[in-house]
A and B are shown apart, each in its own frame.
Chain A
Amino acid sequence: MSAAFDILLCLMILATAGIALFVRGAFAAIAFFIAFGNLLGLAWLALGAVNVALAEIAVGAGVTGVALILACSRLFELGDNLADVRTPLASRLGSAALCLGFTVMLAGVVLTIPPGDRLSKVVAPLLPGLGIENPVTGVLLAFRGYDTLLETFVLLGALVAAWSLTPDASRRLPPTTMVMTDPTSRIVAEAFTRLLAPAALIIAAYLVWVGSDLPGGAFQAGAVLAGALVVATLGGVVVLPRLDSLAARIALMVGPLTFLAIGLAGAALGGRFLAYPDGLEKTLIVTIEYALAISIAAGLALLAIGPPQPMPNNARADAR
């Protein structure tokens, strides 16, 4: 990529970030945040980090954007106009100082990294033993398995935190109905789902499968499936599970538990925790990735849509 492109991209990222922070009106801020996420994805792409780019665009801009828009329209419905938020000067200055300090530290660390691609020189000779060609997948699921295992529980933790904010009474409510109230809009969303859902399934399965050799993997596949789930919910093709639904909980847990079980089995078979038996590395890694994709999809979709709301939602289709 040429320097002009890089500089222009950096300026656009800084500009969208600035506007998202300082623009009045929550909805405009969200729109610029989504644009910021997409531009950041382009920057990762320009750096050659295709995996990070995919994850940033799908999760950072896509799923987070949906969650923010839903949160915004719910706050509007509750009568909060979101425009007149006065943050005390002290907390503004405090967070500015924290962010600045963090940026300086990060810049210091990044600038001390010697030029040249040392990590890939360390990882590349180890990959043939795994039968996996994508160094990112190799690092995530074999060499740094601990990190990834914990990350899969972070998503669950986020969902539990969101659900724990629900009042006790609404936990037993039927799930929030996300179906569009305007009949023609619902038919459009439903027709789109019937077309999109099978394609999303194939794309997600493909993303996990190529993830062992090319950019892709469980998180990207999970985000694709979560997007399809949200659209399907809008069209009324899929009805969201209740919070106490066993099937939903199995879907949420299957990934982390498969990962944990295979990790413990590695320890039981005489190796270390999260060590894969010789010859089975690729099989086990792909198994973990498929299970993780299911859990990530369920987690992201439920997180984006949120817990049941104890209020009528007639106005929702028009608000969107």
Chain B
Amino acid sequence: MGPEFLAVLQILSLALLAAGVLFYVAGSVGLLRFPDAPSRLHALTKADNVGLGLVSLAAAIYWGEPAIAAKIALVWLFAIISSGMTAQLLARAAPVADGSGSPAEYERESGT
């Protein structure tokens, strides 16, 4: 690999990192600004997962080793799975903005 190729990889890694940070910022702004739990979770889980994916990709390219890339991919995969699960649980437990209780409560009360 020539030095030019390595430089291109570094620039690519930096660009991915910057894009990832942008998604994280967007997710955090959504978490702070959105009115209720479901839309906050929407911002967090969707934007932050893309952010994590981009940062993981940037790290994998930066290190440039298949073994490290595989480990980073696993980290990314487990983070996606657990954020999906926690989003489900939080959304069911959290009250919605109009004060009508959580979806879980609604289902219990209406018997659906």
Chain A residues in the interface with B (C-beta under 8 A): 180, 182, 184-185, 188-189, 191-192, 195-196, 199, 317-320
B8 within 8 A of A: no
Segment touching A, from B37-45, B46-54, B88-96: B88-96
Check A185 against B89 for contact (C-beta < 8 Å).
yes
Give the docked Cα–Cα distance between A189 and B52 (Å).
Answer: 23
Name the one of A180, A188, A196, A318 contacting B102, with C-beta atoms under 8 angstroms. Answer: A318
Name the one of B89, B105, B107, B108 contacting A188, with C-beta atoms under 8 angstroms. Answer: B89
B residues 46-72 near A (Cβ < 8 Å) are none
Check B78 against A189 for contact (C-beta < 8 Å).
no
Flag B8-48 by CB within 8 Å of A: 1 or 0 each: 00000000000000000000000000000000000000000
Expressed in whole angstroms, the minimum distance between the Cβ of A76 and any Cβ of chain B is 14
B residues 68-112 near A (Cβ < 8 Å) are 78, 81-82, 85, 88-89, 92-93, 102, 104-105, 107-108
- The secondary-structure label for the interface of chain B is helix
Expressed in whole angstroms, the minimum distance between the Cβ of B79 and any Cβ of chain A is 12
- Set of chain A residues within 8 Å of B88, measured between Cβ atoms: 184-185, 188
> With A199-B78, A318-B93, A320-B93 in contact, do A188 and B104 touch (Cβ < 8 Å)?
no
Give the docked Cα–Cα distance between A292 and B104 (Å).
Answer: 40
Check A184 against B104 for contact (C-beta < 8 Å).
yes
Expressed in whole angstroms, the minimum distance between the Cβ of A191 and any Cβ of chain B is 8
- Set of chain B residues within 8 Å of A184, measured between Cβ atoms: 88, 92, 104, 107
Expressed in whole angstroms, the minimum distance between the Cβ of A313 and any Cβ of chain B is 14
> Which one of A188, A189, A195, A199 has the greatest number of beta carbons of chain B within 10 Å?
A188
Give the docked Cα–Cα distance between A50 and B104 (Å).
Answer: 41
Give the docked Cα–Cα distance between A199 and B85 (Å).
Answer: 16
**Additional A-B contact list (18), CB under 8 Å, known A317-B93, A317-B104:** A180-B89, A182-B92, A182-B93, A182-B104, A184-B88, A184-B92, A184-B104, A184-B107, A185-B88, A185-B89, A185-B92, A188-B88, A191-B85, A192-B81, A196-B82, A199-B78, A318-B105, A319-B93
Expressed in whole angstroms, the minimum distance between the Cβ of A58 and any Cβ of chain B is 14
Check B89 against A189 for contact (C-beta < 8 Å).
yes
Give the docked Cα–Cα distance between A320 and B95 (Å).
Answer: 11
Check B104 against A185 for contact (C-beta < 8 Å).
yes
Query: Which residue of chain A has its CB nearest to the CB of B85?
Result: A192
Query: Which residue of chain B has its CB nearest to the CB of A193?
Result: B85
> With A182-B104, A317-B104, A318-B104 in contact, do A189 and B85 touch (Cβ < 8 Å)?
yes
Give the docked Cα–Cα distance between A185 and B108 (Å).
Answer: 12
Give the docked Cα–Cα distance between A196 and B81 (Å).
Answer: 9
Give the docked Cα–Cα distance between A147 and B102 (Å).
Answer: 49
Check A195 against B104 for contact (C-beta < 8 Å).
no
Expressed in whole angstroms, the minimum distance between the Cβ of A289 and any Cβ of chain B is 21
- Set of chain A residues within 8 Å of B89, measured between Cβ atoms: 180, 185, 188-189, 320
- Set of chain B residues within 8 Å of A320, measured between Cβ atoms: 89, 93
Give the docked Cα–Cα distance between A185 and B93 (Å).
Answer: 9
Query: Which residue of chain A has its CB nearest to the CB of B89?
Result: A185
Please list 13 pairs of residues, one from A and one from B, whose beta carbons are closer than 8 Å in the complex, sorted by A's number: A184-B92, A184-B107, A185-B92, A185-B104, A188-B85, A188-B89, A189-B85, A192-B82, A196-B78, A196-B81, A317-B104, A318-B102, A318-B104
- What are the 4 tightest A-B residue pairs by CB atom distance, in nearest-first order? A182-B104, A192-B85, A188-B88, A185-B92
Query: Which residue of chain A has its CB nearest to the CB of B88?
Result: A188
- Set of chain A residues within 8 Å of B107, measured between Cβ atoms: 184
Give the docked Cα–Cα distance between A36 and B20 (Å).
Answer: 23
Give the docked Cα–Cα distance between A211 and B104 (Å).
Answer: 43
- Set of chain B residues within 8 Å of A180, measured between Cβ atoms: 89
Expressed in whole angstroms, the minimum distance between the Cβ of A165 and any Cβ of chain B is 28
Query: Which residue of chain A has its CB nearest to the CB of B101?
Result: A318
- Set of chain A residues within 8 Å of B92, measured between Cβ atoms: 182, 184-185
> With A182-B104, A318-B104, A318-B105 in contact, do A195 and B81 touch (Cβ < 8 Å)?
yes
Query: Which residue of chain B has its CB nearest to the CB of A191?
Result: B85
- Set of chain B residues within 8 Å of A188, measured between Cβ atoms: 85, 88-89
